[in-house]
Structure 1
Amino acid sequence: MESSKVIHAFYNDDEVLMDAVKAVKAEHLHIEEVFCPFPVHGLDKAMGLAPTRLAITAFLYGITGLAFAIWMTNYMMIQDWPQDIGGKPNFSWWANMPAFVPIMFELTVFFAAHLMVITFYMRSRLWPFKEAENPDPRTTDDHFLMEIPVNNNEAKIIDLLASTGAVEINVVDKH
């Protein structure tokens, strides 16, 4: 049976936290999560997290928006209801394309932005009315919390965390 205990180590400085993360990773221990009141530059790299692929999805969503804009302007202005506006030919999308550039730009940005927000929330599992998973409210104010699972090495981890400058160390049962 696997233990459901975790160690919560609290830090009150982001640089001390970064040094602690590096020390814990140097001991080949797994860090389950780090809760911070603000983004800490370089923490993802120090924890060994894989780089995000959200930029790729943003590009694909932008291309989708551009394709939709091209289809929409062609359908509306050329096929469905062709009009002679300012002497421009109404039989060719290419001849009218410069007039459609603002529409193509705006729909590219619109699709990329809105679909990225939806993707971010889905990827982060942030649903409407979701309960907060923050283990301690101090991490939204001025403390940093490192969560490390315990696997019959509780004393070793506590000694290591105490040597890294943790201001508080707690062993808790994770539910």
Structure 2
Amino acid sequence: MFSSGSKYLLGITGLSLVAAVIYAFTVNPSDIGAIALLGLMVAGGFLAGINLHNGSGDAATAEEAVAAASPAPRDSAWPAVLALGTALVLVGLATVPVVFILGLAVMTGGAVEWLTLNWADRASNDRRYNNDMVRTRSVGPLEYPAASAVALGAVAYLFSRVMLNVSKSAG
């Protein structure tokens, strides 16, 4: 039987084929749109085939159903930090190199923290134990010195900017 996900993906595949044919006959000088719509058709067909083959990811055995019923990981702000780092990298590419380097640092820190959080959340089903024992004891000794080094580096950089902009004749 077709699941709702399979129906959705097959509908996207069929509609993109119809749209590609209509586009190809109505907009003659441009083939890029038809190629894009045919690419959407191929991607939709591929995903529909995977969905049909896997049965929409339904659990086949009781063991799979128990694993699927485990609690979801907690919400995290680290994806937003990664997005901020990406924005800083893009702005830094257009402006000054220090913004680019800051963006790389923010992205690296956000990725490490997000991976650590997800790793610690899967240690057991007890969230308090995962946060207090697993994460704090394993990564805490690394986080505090790294945060101190970043803070001292920022202070040193900002102090150097002030000292380089002060006039030699000023006092």
Which of the five TM-score ranges fits, normalised by the shorter chain?
under 0.3
More helix by share: 2
**TM-score, with structure 1 as normaliser:** 0.25
